Amino acid sequence: MTHEDWSDDDSDETVDLRLWRKLLKYTLHYRRTAVTFCVVAFGMAASDLGFPIVTGKLIADVEANGADANIAFYGWAYGVLAVSLCANICAFILCAGKIRTHVSHDIRRDAFQRLQELSFSFYDTKPVGWLMARLTSDCNRLSNILAWGVMDLIWGSTLMAGISVVMVIYNWKLAIAVLSVVPVLFAVSVFFRKRILRTSRLVRKANSRLTGVYNEGIAGVRTTKVFVRQEQNLHDFDQLADNMQEHSVRNAILSAVYLPIVLTVSSVAIALALVLGGHEVVLGTLAIGEVVMFMYYAQLFFAPVQDLSAWFAELQMAQASAERVLSLVEAVPDVRDTDSVTLRLSEMGSDGHPDAIGRIEFQDVGFRYRTGPEIIGALNLVVESGQTIALVGATGGGKSTLVNLLCRFYEPTEGRIVIDGIDYTDRSLRWFQSHLGIVLQQPHLFSGTICENIRYGDLEATQQQIEDAARLAGAHEFISELEQGYETSVGEGGNQLSLGQKQLVSFARAVLKRPRLLVMDEATSSIDTETEQQIQAGLARVLTGRTSFVIAHRLSTIRAADRILVIEKGKIIEQGTHTELVRQGGHYHDLYTEQSMRDIVRIDNAMDSGAETLQ
């Protein structure tokens, strides 16, 4: 529902047919349906066209011949038309339904698959809500146009052309009279439809805001109570509700004005048919049946005009949707296999290098986001196979960027990263990333059971292996205390578990994978010291001979590393073992001292003196 918020930032623009031609390819994928679809649209228009003729002829026949009128013939003719129209309607809904559902399915599929390939640099610029809106409301909107819009276009224009031709053939003077109203009607329709569409978007937007506020009101009810914000919140809510009411009423009033005007304008055509036609009847040049036929046509003409103007307005409004969806489907990932790797993969099934990750080298690596400032600059680093590297330093210093580069979520903008002597961009991305294990501070779990979440690390794992991994990660204990154990559902986003529990489960997931390269980004922040030590012991066993990178605040975690890198402003300013760094008396030493208990003693003194001055 909140996705709606991201779908409304469109204004009406000129229709760019190039975009729609691309989208039409999705429809043409279902060639048979598309052809049937067109045939059916014509068939429907033709049947629609037939009714006034049968009606008019029947009336004229009765009028002229009285008891000798051939009622049975018209009965049959009417029956045939009715059956044909019903059959066409059935086929029409099935075809349009097929195109509508299948095209939106296909666009969504392409977009989703593309999203699985796109690099994080893409995700950095697009919030999840924005992406969701493309995959939900935009897909529906475009497929609606491609199915119902195209259908109405074919059917409507055929019908209008057909009616015009038939009327002109019967009586061109009456035809002109009836048709003279059409331009007015079209202009009025387009004018209103656009405004109605725009206000209805505003209503939807206001509505999704309102839903958001309810959500916030409920989720934040404790905060609201504790800060006694009820009045203020209700006041804010009322403003939004007023806004919603205002837009809704405006939207309804526009519709309330539009339909009567259309009806009145089209009644002019009916009246003209009656007056002019009636006059000709009096003169004896036209039958009453034919007057009825003209009035019937006059009425029949105006539904397609309304529909087409509605779609025309929608097409203009949906221009932005089409652009955004196509830009997503056609986006090219920044980080991808090079052409030569792709070639080797398709020819040999591998990238042609040994299946191992050993020595890792950063050679003059630099990185910046697009046009942003330099985040990492001229960084050199050699990590031998099996080493544990700890990264410390202030937030924003570039620790996370460094591991993102290591994992090839981004690629260096300068210099290169070399694994066992081979530039990692010359390796298969999929192969490389499938050997990574990553545990993040904000672990992401998928809705499903705990067991399913751990199994994500190795889809073929047995129950026993899953439990072993959980034990090593220190998660088994809390899991087995849960009523349903491993089958406990974690809820959407894992929200049924506490942060610490989520971290443990995501640890187990990484352990199960037995990655060649493990990255832990403040992965144990919400786990108590005792459990953390337990996990470290477990990891040490699993990860013998494997390389790992650890970002952490806790000293006990850092101390265990083979090498500690102090990172500041994108550079390694100190490195060495714990003891070496403490001896150096540099940044690490300061950082370390800051955290130790000595500081607390200082606080104690400060507090005591504070208390004294108060006394």
Binding to other proteins, residues 292-331 (CB under 8 A)? 292, 295, 299-300, 303-304, 306-307
Q: CB 77 → other proteins: shortest distance, Å?
A: 10
345 binds other proteins (CB under 8 A): no
| CA dihedral of 422, 425, 426, 427, whole degrees rounded to 10 | 90
Q: CB 388 → other proteins: shortest distance, Å?
A: 18
Pick between residue 39 and residue 69 the one whose CB is nearest to other proteins.
Answer: 69
Pick between residue 175 and residue 269 the one whose CB is nearest to other proteins.
Answer: 269
Q: CB 423 → other proteins: shortest distance, Å?
A: 20
Q: 42 to 81, contacts with other proteins by CB under 8 A?
A: 44, 48, 51, 55, 58-59, 62-63, 66-67, 69, 71, 74-75, 78-79
Give the tokens for residue 533.
Answer: 């030590």
Pick between residue 21 and residue 225 the one whose CB is nearest to other proteins.
Answer: 225
Q: 253 to 282, contacts with other proteins by CB under 8 A?
A: 253, 255-257, 259-261, 263-264, 267-268, 270-272, 274-275, 278-279, 281-282
With left for phi above 0 and alpha for psi between -120 and 50, is residue 284 left, alpha or beta?
A: left
Report CA torsion sign: 47, 51, 57, 62.
Answer: positive
| CA dihedral of 462, 465, 467, 471, whole degrees rounded to 10 | -170
433 binds other proteins (CB under 8 A): yes
| Alpha-carbon span 207 to 563, nearest angstrom | 55
Q: Which secondary-structure segment (H or E) carries 376?
A: strand 374-383
Q: Which residues pair with 391 in a beta bridge?
A: 551, 565
Pick between residue 315 and residue 378 the one whose CB is nearest to other proteins.
Answer: 315
Are 171 and 336 a contacting pair, CB within 8 Å? no
Pick between residue 242 and residue 384 the one whose CB is nearest to other proteins.
Answer: 242
Give the tokens for residue 280.
Answer: 């000709």
Q: In this chain, which stretch among 23-31, 186-194, 324-332, 506-514 interacts with other proteins, using CB under 8 A?
A: 506-514
Q: CB 142 → other proteins: shortest distance, Å?
A: 12
Are 565 and 391 a contacting pair, CB within 8 Å? yes
Q: How many residues bind other proteins (CB under 8 A)?
A: 181
Distances (CA, A) of 288 to 60, 63, 294, 463: 6, 8, 10, 84
Q: CB 364 → other proteins: shortest distance, Å?
A: 26
Pick between residue 199 and residue 319 the one whose CB is nearest to other proteins.
Answer: 199
| Alpha-carbon span 184 to 265, nearest angstrom | 8
| Alpha-carbon span 210 to 216, nearest angstrom | 10
212 binds other proteins (CB under 8 A): yes
| CA dihedral of 443, 515, 462, 488, whole degrees rounded to 10 | -10
Pick between residue 241 and residue 378 the one whose CB is nearest to other proteins.
Answer: 241
Burial of 524 (0-12, 13-18, 19+ CB in 10 A): buried
Contact pattern from residue 453 through residue 472 relative to other proteins, giving x for each residue in contact according to CB under 8 A and a dash for the rest: ---xx-x-------------
Q: 510 to 529, contacts with other proteins by CB under 8 A?
A: 513, 519, 525-526, 528-529
Are 179 and 164 a contacting pair, CB within 8 Å? yes
Neighbours of 436 (CB within 10 A): 19
Q: 365 to 394, contacts with other proteins by CB under 8 A?
A: none
**Single residue of 19, 135, 185, 341 touching other proteins by CB under 8 A:** 135
Pick between residue 19 and residue 436 the one whose CB is nearest to other proteins.
Answer: 436
| Alpha-carbon span 281 to 289, nearest angstrom | 10
Contact pattern from residue 100 through residue 119 relative to other proteins, giving x for each residue in contact according to CB under 8 A and a dash for the rest: xxx-xx--xx--xx-xxx--
Helices 71-117/17-28 angle, 10° precision: 100
Q: CB 131 → other proteins: shortest distance, Å?
A: 6
Are 480 and 467 a contacting pair, CB within 8 Å? no
191 binds other proteins (CB under 8 A): no
Pick between residue 77 and residue 378 the one whose CB is nearest to other proteins.
Answer: 77
338 binds other proteins (CB under 8 A): no
Residue appearing with tokens 């605040």: 553
356 binds other proteins (CB under 8 A): no
Q: CB 506 → other proteins: shortest distance, Å?
A: 8
Q: CB 18 → other proteins: shortest distance, Å?
A: 25
| Alpha-carbon span 135 to 130, nearest angstrom | 9
607 binds other proteins (CB under 8 A): yes
